[in-house]
Structure 1
Amino acid sequence: MTSLSTAVQAASVGHPAYSQTFPCEPSTAEPGRKLVRDVLGIWHLDDLADHAALIVTELIANAARHTPCRSIRLIVGRPSAERVRVGVVDREPSRVPALSQADADDESGRGLLLIDAVADRWGYDLHGSDRRPWGKEVWAEIRVKDDE
């Protein structure tokens, strides 16, 4: 069993979740992947680690590239026994993700396409009131295999 080397917040009620705040920069992808892998190890879901690591890498890259935020919150949760959700919360509600096609010679722009390919579903939720959202969570879910 793996153990988390840094303190993270865990859900005190409801479905289990772990979250941690990180700087909003591309280098956060490495500790983000480690957190996701550690959490999945605790839940005995190591077989989902590669897809979840790819998802968190792309979510962090998108937040770092498309928002002026100084920090993001990475959340790894189990909204149900059948699903794992990886999400990144930032404070830029006006920049919502949109799936687009990158040209063959583009060096970026494929992150959501990759997420769409490996996740069972993905989306975003605005945080705050309808009139004054303060941020958003971009998330992706992976289905837990039936034999778990």
Structure 2
Amino acid sequence: MTRKPWELPFLAEPEEVAGLRRVMRLHLRLWGLSDVSDAAEICVSEMVSNVIRHVGVGTPSTLVVEMKGTHLRVGLRDPDTRALPTLLSAGPDDESGRGLAMLDAVAERWGVILGAESKLVWCDLATPLASPGGHIDDPRVAKSEACLTLYAGGVVAENLGVGRAGVVFQEEAAIDLIADILHWLRAHGHDPDEALDRAQLHFEAELGLAG
């Protein structure tokens, strides 16, 4: 699977946080990393709040998301190189100081990269990936890949992890397999539409249990 780095410029304002969390959630779903979505959304919320509180409302900022090996790196770039984040011990009655503590709690590691005109606050989240370009360790996914490999005569296996073209090939092979299964159902007197509906319900139920 290709997980290319992406960036999203925005203005650091409270009303932007919900949208940024939603974009993060949807993007991680496409990357097959929904398992770390909650932690990533917390990181986004806390980093944006930190910019608003210590740099200023409306600060031009950029959300940066990329893979570092099998870790997901979530970063936030802003133009103020003076306001550096500091981990404080916040008491139960303190109104501030908990943001970086939350970041420190959910991330495996975090830090700051200073540039000439900006800084990047980043945090790395552990994922269930066995390899940077692979998928989560799920027996259902492994079975599907075995079926696709048999279906395409080994061609799918040869095209695993070869960039965007490989991803497109695998997707088309999966669609072809589903279409042929629907033909098989129809030939045996079953309703393909009903089967699709039942499969979708089953899939969504399993996602709900996993979440």
**Is the CA contact 2:72–2:124 (under 8 Å) kept in the aligned structure 1?**
yes
Q: Does 1:105 align with 2:93?
A: yes
Residue 73 of structure 1 corresponds to which residue in structure 2? Answer: 62
Quote the residue 1:51 is aligned against: 39
In 2, the alpha carbon distance for the partners of 1:44 and 1:97 equals 31
In structure 2, the partner of 1:141 is 124
Give the letter aligned to residue 79 of structure 1.
Answer: K
Q: Distance in 1 between matches of 2:68 and 2:3?
A: 6
Look up the equivalent residue of 1:144 and give its one-letter code: T
Distance in 2, Cα, partners of 1:100 & 1:47: 28
CA shift, 1:102, in A, is 1.2
- Which residues of 2 match residues 37-48 of structure 1 at below 5 A? 37-48=25-36
1:123 aligns with 2:106: no
Higher helix fraction (1 or 2):
2
Measured in 2, the distance between the counterparts of 1:60 and 1:17 equals: 19
Gaps of 5+ in 1: 1-13, 128-132
SS of residue in 1 equivalent to 2:117 = strand
CA distance in 2, matches of 1:71, 1:24: 6
1:37 counterpart letter in structure 2: R
User: Do 2:67 and 2:73's aligned partners in 1 also have CA atoms closer than 8 Å?
Assistant: yes
2:43 corresponds to 1:60? no
Q: Could you tell me the TM-score, scaled by structure 1's length?
A: 0.81
How far apart are the structure 2 equivalents of 1:108 and 1:123?
20
Matches within 5 A, 1:75-94: 75-80=64-69, 82-94=70-82
Q: CA deviation at 1:76?
A: 1.3
**What's the % identity of the aligned pairs?**
34
- Measure how far apart 1:32 and its partner are: 1.2
Larger radius of gyration: 2
User: Structure 2, unaligned stretches of length 5 or more?
Assistant: 131-135, 137-211
* Structure 2 partner of 1:22: 10
Amino acid at match of 2:60: S
The count of aligned residue pairs is: 129
Q: TM-score, normalised by structure 2?
A: 0.58
* CA RMSD, Structure 1 to Structure 2 (Å): 1.6
Cα distance, 1:119 vs structure 2: 0.4
In structure 2, do the counterparts of structure 1 residues 15 and 124 end up closer, same or farther at CA, with 3 Å as the change threshold? farther
Amino acid paired to 1:34: R
The runs of at least 4 consecutive aligned structure 1 residues that moved more than 6 Å come to: none
User: Deviation per CA, 1:87-138, whole angstroms, max 9, x where unpaired?
Assistant: 11000001111100112211221010011001010011012xxxxx211010
Residue identity opposite 2:117 in structure 1? W
